[in-house]
């Protein structure tokens, strides 16, 4: 289970859209929506993709040294930008994005939100919160939690907006949902932590390519190796069957189905 704030999810999808824009889309957006030139937009896209693609591609993992250098480049670019920060504080139970996780309860002159399940705290986005035991208007002691968040108080340009979004995701622990597809290289937001490909079609194409590529260890393709193992298993099954073993037991021993064994002439 994962709780996503609509604002955070929107920012992440906004970043994904920018990273996936074609050159034509970048030119149109630069003219219509951004105060920048198409050339600057293309350079920024290339800059971000060069860092984020190797960090978010789960099938082509970088070394520790490479990851450190890439993250260092990201931090370095962010540090060059000038931001004016402001902070805000608000009660968690009054956050519209999280309200569904609370039940309302009248306590004297005030209605408070009580978390439906305390284990949900670990699922709440971000770690910037403070919980205190306080006395409510009805005289009873309960916990109240405040959320502390920062934001830029200046109007951001496209470059500042995108880098600000990236570091907001890093702080809140949401950047690991950003993935780049190993097959088509498009970015996407992963709904499941195990998701490595943007769509099933890319997963199938990628895995089939791997199966047609000779292994560095054996020098043969996955299909060739699979046929070799199957032939060996059938030979073992025939020997076991000749020694009087039941067909179902042969299937369990070799890992072959009874249908395959029958196709190989074993009855």
How far apart are the C-alpha atoms of 209 and 206, rounded to whole Å?
5
By the 8 A CB rule, do 28 and 41 touch?
Answer: no
Cβ partners under 8 Å of residue 103, min gap 6: 113, 114, 116
How far apart are the C-alpha atoms of 94 and 124, rounded to whole Å?
14
Cβ partners under 8 Å of residue 201, min gap 6: none
By the 8 A CB rule, do 2 and 123 touch?
Answer: yes
Domain assignments of the chain as residue spans, ordered by start: 6-83+154-199, 86-151, 213-263
Going 212 to 216 to 222 to 226, the CA torsion angle's sign is positive
Strand partners, 180: 187
The helix/strand count (H/E) of the chain reads as 9, 7
How far apart are the C-alpha atoms of 29 and 37, rounded to whole Å?
10
Q: What's the pLDDT score for residue 78?
A: 86
Q: What's the pLDDT score for residue 52?
A: 95
**φ, ψ at 130 (rounded to 5°):** -140, 120
Q: What is the pTM of this model?
A: 0.62
Q: What's the pLDDT score for residue 125?
A: 45
Q: What's the pLDDT score for residue 126?
A: 45
By the 8 A CB rule, do 3 and 123 touch?
Answer: yes
Greatest C-alpha distance within the chain: 85
By the 8 A CB rule, do 53 and 181 touch?
Answer: no
Q: What's the pLDDT score for residue 69?
A: 93
How far apart are the C-alpha atoms of 221 and 209, rounded to whole Å?
10
Q: What's the pLDDT score for residue 128?
A: 64
3-state secondary structure of 204: helix
By the 8 A CB rule, do 163 and 171 touch?
Answer: no
pLDDT along the chain (267 residues), means of 10: 50 88 86 75 93 92 90 89 73 54 55 47 51 79 73 70 84 84 94 92 91 75 77 87 86 86 83
How far apart are the C-alpha atoms of 247 and 244, rounded to whole Å?
9
- DSSP assignment of 113-134, as one string? EEES-GGGGGGSS-S-EEEEEE
């Amino acid at each position: 289970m994962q709780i996503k704030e609509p604002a955070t999810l929107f920012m992440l999808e906004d970043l994904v859209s920018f990273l996936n824009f074609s050159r034509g889309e970048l030119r149109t957006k630069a003219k219509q929506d951004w105060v920048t030139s198409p050339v600057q937009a293309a350079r920024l896209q290339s800059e971000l993709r060069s860092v984020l693609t190797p960090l978010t591609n789960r099938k082509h993992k970088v070394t520790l040294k490479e990851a450190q250098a890439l993250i260092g480049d990201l931090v370095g670019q962010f540090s060059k930008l000038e931001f004016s920060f402001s902070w805000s504080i608000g009660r968690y139970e009054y956050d519209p994005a999280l309200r569904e996780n609370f039940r309302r309860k009248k306590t004297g002159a005030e209605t408070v939100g009580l978390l439906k399940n305390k284990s949900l705290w670990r699922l709440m986005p971000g770690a910037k919160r403070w919980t205190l035991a306080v006395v409510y208007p009805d005289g009873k002691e309960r916990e109240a939690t405040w959320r502390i968040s920062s934001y830029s108080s200046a109007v951001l340009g496209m470059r500042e907006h995108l880098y600000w979004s990236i570091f907001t995701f890093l702080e809140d622990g949401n950047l690991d949902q950003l993935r780049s597809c190993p097959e088509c290289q498009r970015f996407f937001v992963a709904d499941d932590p195990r998701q490595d490909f943007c769509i099933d079609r890319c997963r199938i194409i990628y895995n089939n390519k791997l199966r047609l590529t000779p292994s560095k260890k054996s020098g043969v393709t996955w299909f060739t190796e699979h046929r070799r193992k199957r032939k060996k298993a059938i030979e073992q099954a025939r020997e076991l069957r000749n020694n009087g073993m039941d067909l179902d037991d042969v299937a369990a021993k070799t890992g072959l189905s009874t249908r395959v064994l029958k196709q190989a002439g074993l009855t």
